[in-house]
Amino acid sequence: MRIQPLTLPLLLPFLESLPHHLPHQCLSSRSADGGKVIQRQHHLCRRLSGDSPAPKRNICQDPVDVLGHSYPCDDFTNVTPKILSKVGRNLHNQSHHPLWLIKERIKAHFYSAYVGRGGNPLFSVHDNLSPVVTTEQNFDSLLIPPDHPSRKRGDNYYLNRTTMLRAHTSAHQRELVKSGLDAFLLAGDVYRRDEIDASHYPVFHQMEGVRLFSNHMLFSSVENGEDLSLFESDSRRTPQKQETHTLEAVKLVEHNLKTTLTCLVTHLFGKNLEVRWVDCYFPFTHPSFEMEVRFQGDWMEVLGCGVMEQELVNSAGAHNKLGWAFGLGLERLAMVLYGIPDIRLFWSQDERFLKQFILPEIQQPVTFQPLSKYPALHNDISFWLPEEKTKRDGEGEVESEAGRQSYTENDFYELVRSVGGDLVEKVTLVDSFTHPKSGRMSHCYQIVYRHMERTLTQEEVRVVHEEIGRTAELELGVQGRY
């Protein structure tokens, strides 16, 4: 059975009741701080009316306007009006927002614990840099190889082939080091296409720190430190160090890094905290570590860190220095420390949520008191993938024999987000079936709908669910199984 087109009269009552969740107004949206984010790509607006079918998202003629700048689109453009409406919200700078509280607590700790010779804070803080960066900033400046999977169009939001919404705040590391900074904290919103559940959202917030040391800074407190050096030649890379670093320099930097971060998490979580370090890999640090803390009986990973790759430091003009860097997710910390169960709540403008974090002092403990738990509605959707012969690549993607990407699960998740917005709590692939004769592959997804502030009706959900099915056929080339 084919989905029947929905008429505008049927949709209007629902759209009027949910102005923040469905993209019916995507030519212009105003950010929380009064800035304007404009999307002039009419064809990218999903119009929930059966008499105006949504055209393909990848065909674009008009530029994309973000934060007052215009960017030409091309075959890589995949940013949506739903995502652009989040740019400029800057939740981490919204006073008394839980993300702001975490950021300010980290900032206050570094300000008080690390002071320069003149009595000023050693670490500067940068929390208002534009999230629009070049692909060179986001990848190449961090030594991420051209064929690295993190560059995939299916995992990022591209304005065009050379410009994107940053996938991590580390995209600004080189420019800040190049400006002459030796110690800084950086916070901001980052954007990634991802799965849909209570802990994943396409926009989240990161905070990271960088500290560089000169020869004198690192060895001044060490006996006979004047005889030691940061660098050596004719060496080789080992699991313990990079080829250009001396082992004693790396061990001192590593010790400083781990001591700094242990003090930070103890400040956030409280005394007597168990901490352990796990070796890992990042393209921009070596050696690299993940920090885990024991919280409520379980080990939980809270951040990644390491000794900065010297090639990165050198490219920023700091050839005579060696440094460390760390990065953490603000949402992850806030959800754990404040007991916030669903990442969508951070975007809520419900006073019942926001007023809980208006505290007289940022260090005051607070535990989120849940709003009424409104019931969830579960609907399944099944469809055949595009008819070309396909195969799974092991990373959630399906490719044609010729190697051309034809369908990715992230494409479907992004479509669901754009149509259903924050009504969608979770999307799960519950079944994958390959027809024994035709070789065609079918997917079945369960979509969980739940409004954070009121009870949804099945009729409201049916409108959205059917629009998801119809838009998937039009934009992804799938064939519904109804």
Q: What is the pLDDT of residues 189-216, one digit of tens each?
A: 999 999 999 999 999 999 999 999 999 9
Tell me the whole-structure pTM to 2 decimals.
Answer: 0.81
123-156 pLDDT, tens digit per residue, is 999 999 999 999 999 999 999 999 999 999 999 9
Please give the share of the chain, as a percent, with pLDDT higher than 90.
74
For position 406, what pLDDT does the model report? 73
pLDDT of residue 390: 45
- Give CA–CA dist 371/424, Å, rounded: 17
* Per-chain mean pLDDT for the chain: 85
d(CA 88, CA 477): 33
29: Cα within 13 Å, side-chain hemisphere: 23
Would you state the pLDDT for residue 481? 87
Residue 228 has pLDDT above 70, yes or no: yes
pLDDT at 60: 66
What is the pLDDT, as a whole number, of residue 209? 98
- Say if residue 99's pLDDT is above 80: yes
Residue 448 in this model has a pLDDT that exceeds 60: yes
Mean pLDDT along residues 90-110:
97
Residue whose tokens read 């959205």: 464
Contact 368, 339 (CB under 8 A): yes
> For position 453, what pLDDT does the model report?
86
Number of other CB atoms surrounding residue 64 within 10 Å: 24
| DSSP state letters, 294-348 | EETTEEEEEEEEEEEPHHHHHHTT-TT-EEEEEEEEHHHHHHHHHT---GGGGG-
**210 in Cβ contact with 196 (< 8 Å):** no
pLDDT tens-place string over residues 401-440: 433 447 889 999 999 999 999 999 999 999 999 999 888 9
> In the structure, what pLDDT confidence band is assigned to residue 77 with cuts at 50, 70 and 90?
very high
pLDDT for 396 = 53
pLDDT band at 18 (very low <50, low <70, confident <90, very high): very low
Summarize the confidence of residues 371-396 as an average pLDDT.
76
What's the mean pLDDT in 368-395?
78
Q: Residue 239, exposed/middle/buried by CB under 10 A (0-12, 13-18, 19+)?
A: exposed
| Mean pLDDT across 318-322 | 96
Of 113 and 27, the one with more pLDDT: 113
Which residue did the predictor score with more confidence, 222 or 392? 222
CA 183 centroid distance within chain: 24
Alpha carbons 78 and 58: distance in angstroms, whole number: 7
pLDDT band for position 391 (50/70/90)? very low
CB 287 within 8 A of CB 279: yes
